[in-house]
Amino acid sequence: MLANSFSLLNVDHVQLNNRWNYKNVISPYYRLYYIDGGEGKISSPTKKLILRPGYLYLIPSFTLCNLECDDFMSQYFLQFFEESPDGISLFKDNRSIMEIKATDTDISIFNRLLKINPGRGINRSDDPEVYEKEAYYKEHKALNKDIKTSVQFENQGIILILLSRFIESIRFKSLKIAKIPSVVLEAINYIQLNLGNSITINDLAKNANQNRDYFSRQFLEHTGQRPLSFIHEKRIERAQYLIVTTNKTLLDIAIETGFNNLPHFTKIFKKKVNKTPGAYRKQSLQIT
């Protein structure tokens, strides 16, 4: 049974021009685009796509990307948060930008989402550094509480239908995933479920009944990261989410995400995000 739920942040149909040009965007929520005119570009360190009419594009939460339009682009966009009891994202193994051909049903339900959620666009700026603010997140979460229960259910259903199209598209990666040793998959799941607890490489290797060095090499080979780097990445992703969606102190967030002290948390956060936690929160609080 699916435990993940999704809450609407923004939905709109906009006309973009060459001002839509932003680098190194990384957000704590999902972005989903349907292009119905013009052309744009979206890229990550490992992938580049042309945003073209007739296609859907998904950017999972915490996926680094660049957004660009040279001239003109007509775009439906949907932004939404993901919640799960264990903090594990539905796309935890696929943090990359995705493209699929849109169907008539996709277009129809996108329009339906717009119709039942009037005034849910950004309405301030198309610059992420302007609209990615804690106050705006709270504002839209408050709107979700005020809408009819029937609309809440319909929003959830439409988001799930649109996401299901991308879930199906990544099934082709199943053969590659199947080749990952069970001990590595079990270690990944253990890390995701225990971000707030002490996790050592020795413990992971012991749980896998392997030598520490051998386990680390296996983990690196099949994930592209050393275990400690992976642990830090997942802890910082969770910390980013907590910083922009809660009023918890940075110390509380550091402890909740498994860091022993604030200086260590700050050091790792800055290494991963290129900003201190304080600067990241300040950016989210500033109203432009």
- What is the spatial distance between Cα 265 and Cα 254, in angstroms, rounded to a whole number? 6
- What is the spatial distance between Cα 254 and Cα 264, in angstroms, rounded to a whole number? 9
Cβ–Cβ < 8 Å for 19, 126: yes
Domain at 109, CATH number: 2.60.120.10
Phi/psi of residue 161, nearest 5 degrees: -65, -45
Residue pLDDT, tens place only, 98-141: 999 999 999 999 999 999 999 888 865 555 655 555 555 667 67
> How high is the pLDDT of residue 261?
92
Residue pLDDT, tens place only, 210-254: 999 999 999 998 888 899 999 998 899 888 878 877 889 999 999
74-96: average pLDDT: 80
Phi/psi of residue 237, nearest 5 degrees: -60, -45
Cβ–Cβ < 8 Å for 37, 147: no
Domain residue limits at 230 = 180-285
Residue pLDDT, tens place only, 94-108: 778 999 999 999 999
- What is the spatial distance between Cα 60 and Cα 45, in angstroms, rounded to a whole number? 15
> How high is the pLDDT of residue 288?
34
> How high is the pLDDT of residue 132?
53
Same domain membership, residue 186 and residue 124: no
Count Cβ atoms below 10 Å from residue 208 Cβ, excluding itself. 20
From 174, 192, 224, give the residue that closes a domain. 174
> How high is the pLDDT of residue 7?
86
Same domain membership, residue 251 and residue 277: yes
- What is the spatial distance between Cα 31 and Cα 76, in angstroms, rounded to a whole number? 11
Q: Give the chain's largest Cα–Cα span.
A: 57
Same domain membership, residue 114 and residue 137: yes
Asked if the model's pLDDT at residue 11 lies above 80, the reply is yes
Same domain membership, residue 170 and residue 190: no
Same domain membership, residue 217 and residue 125: no
> How high is the pLDDT of residue 205?
93
Same domain membership, residue 30 and residue 134: yes
- Residue 70 or residue 182, greater confidence: 70
Same domain membership, residue 154 and residue 45: yes
- What is the spatial distance between Cα 260 and Cα 203, in angstroms, rounded to a whole number? 17
Same domain membership, residue 203 and residue 144: no
Residue pLDDT, tens place only, 148-190: 999 999 999 999 999 988 886 665 454 344 467 888 888 887 8
Same domain membership, residue 227 and residue 121: no
From 174, 196, 213, give the residue that closes a domain. 174
Question: What are the C-alpha distances in Å from 239 to residues 50, 177, 185, 193?
Answer: 32, 27, 23, 14
Q: How many domains does the chain have?
A: 2
Burial 133-168 (b: 16+ CB within 10 A, else e): bbebbeebeeebeeeeeeeeebbeebbeebbebbee
Same domain membership, residue 139 and residue 162: yes
Same domain membership, residue 134 and residue 111: yes
- Residue 171 or residue 44, greater confidence: 44
Asked if the model's pLDDT at residue 73 lies above 80, the reply is yes
Cβ–Cβ < 8 Å for 207, 190: yes
From 140, 174, 208, give the residue that closes a domain. 174
DSSP-derived secondary structure for 47-89: -EEEE-TTEEEEE-TT--EEEE-SSEEEEEEEEEEEE-TT---
Domain at 227, CATH number: 1.10.10.60
Asked if the model's pLDDT at residue 287 lies above 50, the reply is no
Average pLDDT across the chain, whole number: 84
Fill in the amino acid letter for 84. S
Residue 211 tokens read as: 């030598």
Same domain membership, residue 159 and residue 60: yes
Q: Is the entire prediction scored with pTM above 0.75?
A: no
Residue 171 tokens read as: 């099934």
